[in-house]
Amino acid sequence: MNEKDFIPLPYTKTLENGCFTWSAPSNIALVKYWGKTGIQIPANPSISFTLDACKTITTLAFEKKENSGKYSFDFLFEGQPKESFHPKIEKFFDVIQQYVPFIKNYHFTIDSRNTFPHSSGIASSASGMAALAMCLMSLERELNPEMTHVHFYRKASFLARLGSGSACRSVKGEMVVWGEHDEITGSSDLFGVEFDGEVAHIFKNYQDTILLVDKGEKQVSSTVGHGLMNGHPFAQQRFTQAHANLSKLKKALAEGDINAFIEVVESEALTLHAMMMTSLPYFILMKPNTLEIINKIWQYRQKTGVPVCFTLDAGANVHVLYPQQYASEVLEFIKAELLVYCQNNQYICDQIGKGAENL
């Protein structure tokens, strides 16, 4: 498939007004996307767990305009007008316009809220862009009712990607691959696809407890971070490594090899941050407490044999990953030994989820 396949056929129906509500979850990458070309084309393939509890709920209300020409919208966050979000949405609408030409005929009211605390350091761009893309696709499906289910989800992921790269992995569950990879049939740089490889029982309902180490604004945005992979001395090796790590992970998931899983996942997290530390300019997003937690997790795993591991996204928070069967003892360990390193002892219990939902 290429980009042109997402330009719609002439619409066969019209719709005056209405509204759609979708929720879309956040996701956490196991093999990380870091570095891109063109308009959100990933430099390497990635795979993520779709989350369940951390999500954005968006209502898109629409009203046909007298004079179509340019889209217009109001944006509300938790019911209150939020001007500061306008530039991001405007940019998104400008980029997707050619794929959803109907938007110029409508005035939209977008009302969005997150289930996770506002300044938790959890990026809402993935869940937010995915929820908005789902709402737009619901409207487009009304205008072109012959659209297939497969196309509906694929295009939602394609649009979400244009808003925020990793958002394309938030449309579906439970694991999603984004970016071409030899061993993942149907994988694409343009949209996320459900991971359809074998997954051993131990990896079902995997738990993710998110430790909120630092809730402040990041000093360096993901956009800038991705950009610093251009001309990065280790970029090519890193991209090659990501392909190899996805192959290793696929094998570990099929074989239920949790040690191999842990090795790939922790190495990916540290590599992501190593890329930040070795770019020019260099930067560090981990905090001292991030390292304290990592060391505690290693000690606990060594001592007890409980297969708990960590991953990081582009920030200081730590995602603690473990099989469901160990949930009670790992939570006890987290409460006893890790919460002291979290801001206001805050954490979020999450697990693998199924993707966006129409509400």
Q: Which range binds ligand PMV by CB under 6 A, 32-40, 105-113, 152-160, 340-348?
A: 32-40
- Round to whole Å and give the CA distance between 114 and 199: 30
The nearer residue to ligand PMV, 207 or 222, going by C-beta atoms, is: 222
Spacing of C-alpha 144 from chain mean position: 28
Q: How far is the CB of 167 from ligand PMV (least distance, A)?
A: 6
Q: How far is the CB of 46 from ligand PMV (least distance, A)?
A: 4
Choose which of 6, 20, 22, 33 interacts with ligand PMV (CB under 6 A). 33
The 3-state DSSP class for residue 196 equals coil
The nearer residue to ligand PMV, 6 or 33, going by C-beta atoms, is: 33
Task: Please say whether the beta carbons of 83 and 77 come within 8 A.
Answer: no
Q: How far is the CB of 147 from ligand PMV (least distance, A)?
A: 26
- Round to whole Å and give the CA distance between 225 and 222: 5
Q: Answer left, alpha or beta for residue 93, where phi above 0 means left and psi between -120 and 50 means alpha.
A: alpha
Q: Which range binds ligand PMV by CB under 6 A, 27-35, 63-71, 202-210, 254-262?
A: 27-35
Asked if 32 is part of the footprint of ligand PMV (rule: CB under 6 A), the reply reads yes
* Interaction residues for ligand PMV, span 54-113 (CB under 6 A): none
The nearer residue to ligand PMV, 125 or 207, going by C-beta atoms, is: 125
The nearer residue to ligand PMV, 60 or 312, going by C-beta atoms, is: 312
- Round to whole Å and give the CA distance between 266 and 286: 14
Q: For residue 112, list its beta bridge partners.
A: 58, 77
The nearer residue to ligand PMV, 139 or 176, going by C-beta atoms, is: 176
- Round to whole Å and give the CA distance between 105 and 64: 6
What DSSP letter does each residue of 223-244 carry, written as one string?
HHHHHTTTT-TTHHHHHHHHHH
Q: Answer left, alpha or beta for residue 65, where phi above 0 means left and psi between -120 and 50 means alpha.
A: beta
Asked if 164 is part of the footprint of ligand PMV (rule: CB under 6 A), the reply reads yes
* Residue whose structure tokens are 């002892």: 345
* Interaction residues for ligand PMV, span 42-61 (CB under 6 A): 46
Asked if 30 is part of the footprint of ligand PMV (rule: CB under 6 A), the reply reads no
* Residue whose structure tokens are 């290793």: 248
Tokens of 324: 């469901």
What are φ and ψ of residue 272, in 5° steps? -55, -50
The nearer residue to ligand PMV, 130 or 143, going by C-beta atoms, is: 130
* Interaction residues for ligand PMV, span 296-325 (CB under 6 A): 313-314
The nearer residue to ligand PMV, 209 or 311, going by C-beta atoms, is: 311
What DSSP letter does each residue of 164-201 carry, written as one string?
-GGGGGSSB-SEEEES--TTSTT--SSSEEE--S---G
The nearer residue to ligand PMV, 143 or 264, going by C-beta atoms, is: 264
* Interaction residues for ligand PMV, span 109-138 (CB under 6 A): 123, 125
CA-to-CA dists, residue 260 to 246, 266, 349, angstroms: 12, 10, 24
**Site size toward ligand PMV, by CB under 6 A:** 15
Q: Which residues bind ligand PMV (CB under 6 A)?
A: 29, 32-34, 46, 123, 125, 164-166, 222, 226, 272, 313-314
